[in-house]
Amino acid sequence: MKGALPGAYPPMVLGHEIAGQIATVGKNVNRVQVGDRVTVDSVVGCGKCELCKQSRSQFCPNGYELGINRDGACQDYLIVPERNVYRIPDSISFEEAAVLDIEVWNSVRKCGIQPKDRVLILGAGPIGMIASQLTRILGAGHITLSDSIQDRLRIARDLKLADAYESAPLNDASTDYSSVPYDVILDCAGTSASTQYALRAVRPCGRVLLYGVHEEAIDSLDINQIVLKDLVVYGALCDRNGWEDVVELAASGALDLKSLITHRFPIENGAQAYDAVRNRSQGLIKAVLLL
Ligand SMILES: [Zn+2]
């Protein structure tokens, strides 16, 4: 909406986190049938190139993403290849199925969380709250969730999403982090301050995941933090596999998405919904649009 995401240009029907019901199928479709409830991978590749065969359709030269550079889900009907839909059990609502966040699952998994790991998550928005749960599922030893918005930390604390909560002084470059050597830091905030903080606060040989999409370039990033601390830094435009895993986690209740959906809007009030998300309305974590 702000034009910060490369390749996304209005006018565009929005909606890239999608769930729905199969209305009709093509004659060669055999994975799903009419009436099936499904979640949808919004990243559509050609299905034939090497990248697609490696589940990396996000980099397919002939691919597109629904709601980003092709009309998305805020409409009555959507046509997608059968390989992009995944059946959901009755125990998962459409709302939950729309916010499964495969990217978070694959990004966090990539960090190779170990049982002894101390993990710091920057940003207690919906992504950070999901990342926190997944980090625990993956067996982290200790999880700290951090945000400057007290309201979000309170909600996270109420939901018991982490072991510790911290109101992060992201802009305080003088803070000494040597006493809390984090093994892994997940930057789910995507600001200049959060990224610099992540590189500073992680221990030598630690791992940093950069999840948040930056709205602008960082002017003065100290790359020597990576070089001289021998860090591993991960990006976040992840492979598209693992949908069955995350469906299972949500179905079993291990991943609580229900509590994160705080606001619901009929599609007719779509503009109001986007405003609420953009303005971070009081208590809003995840909003869903209902058709
Ligand atoms: Zn392809």
Picking from 205, 234, 263, the residue at the C-terminal end of a domain is 234
User: What CATH number has the domain bearing residue 148?
Assistant: 3.40.50.720
- Residues 119 and 230 reside in one and the same domain: yes
Q: How far is the CA of 62 from the centre of ligand 1 (A)?
A: 6
Q: How far is the CA of 100 from the centre of ligand 1 (A)?
A: 23
CA angle 275, 276, 280 (to 5 degrees): 115
- The predicted-structure confidence for 153-209, as pLDDT tens digits, reads as follows 999 999 999 999 998 666 555 556 666 789 999 999 998 889 999 999 999 999 999
Q: How far is the CA of 50 from the centre of ligand 1 (A)?
A: 7
Question: What pLDDT shows up at residue 37?
Answer: 98
pLDDT bin (cut points 50, 70, 90) of residue 6 is: confident
Give burial (CB, 10 Å; 0-12/13-18/19+) of 224: exposed
User: What CATH number has the domain bearing residue 47?
Assistant: 3.90.180.10
Q: How far is the CA of 77 from the centre of ligand 1 (A)?
A: 24
pLDDT bin (cut points 50, 70, 90) of residue 281 is: confident
SS3 sequence of 177-229 = CCCCCEEEEEECCCCHHHHHHHHHHEEEEEEEEECCCCCCCCCCCCCHHHHHC
- Ion ligand 1: residues, CB within 5 A, are 45-46, 49, 52, 60
Picking from 190, 217, 234, the residue at the C-terminal end of a domain is 234
- Residues 167 and 59 reside in one and the same domain: no
Picking from 234, 258, 280, the residue at the C-terminal end of a domain is 234
Q: How far is the CA of 282 from the centre of ligand 1 (A)?
A: 41
Q: How far is the CA of 49 from the centre of ligand 1 (A)?
A: 4
Do residues 147 and 168 make contact, with C-beta atoms less than 8 angstroms apart? yes
Q: Tell whether the model's pLDDT for residue 267 goes beyond 80.
A: yes
Question: What pLDDT shows up at residue 57?
Answer: 95
Strands 37-40 and 261-266: unpaired
Strands 18-21 and 37-40: antiparallel
- Residues 33 and 121 reside in one and the same domain: no
Q: Is residue 10 part of a domain?
A: no
Question: What pLDDT shows up at residue 178?
Answer: 62
Distance CA 70, CA 6 (A): 13
Across 60-70, average pLDDT: 94
Q: Which residues span the domain enclosing 145?
A: 103-234
Q: Is residue 246 part of a domain?
A: yes
Question: What pLDDT shows up at residue 133?
Answer: 98
CA angle 242, 67, 43 (to 5 degrees): 30
Across 215-235, average pLDDT: 91
Across 21-33, average pLDDT: 97
Number of domains, the chain: 2
pLDDT above 70 as % of the chain: 96
Q: Rounded to 5 degrees, what are φ and ψ at 44?
A: -110, 115
Grouping H, G, I as helix, E, B as strand and the rest as coil, residue 167 is coil
Q: Is residue 64 part of a domain?
A: yes
Q: How far is the CA of 64 from the centre of ligand 1 (A)?
A: 10
- Residues 202 and 117 reside in one and the same domain: yes
pLDDT bin (cut points 50, 70, 90) of residue 282 is: confident
Q: Is residue 184 part of a domain?
A: yes
CA-nearest of 151, 178, 102 to 262 is: 151
- Residues 141 and 204 reside in one and the same domain: yes
- The predicted-structure confidence for 114-152, as pLDDT tens digits, reads as follows 999 999 999 999 999 999 999 999 999 999 999 988 889
Q: How far is the CA of 82 from the centre of ligand 1 (A)?
A: 15
Question: What pLDDT shows up at residue 170?
Answer: 64
Q: How far is the CA of 106 from the centre of ligand 1 (A)?
A: 20
Output the six-digit token pair for 105: 């699952």
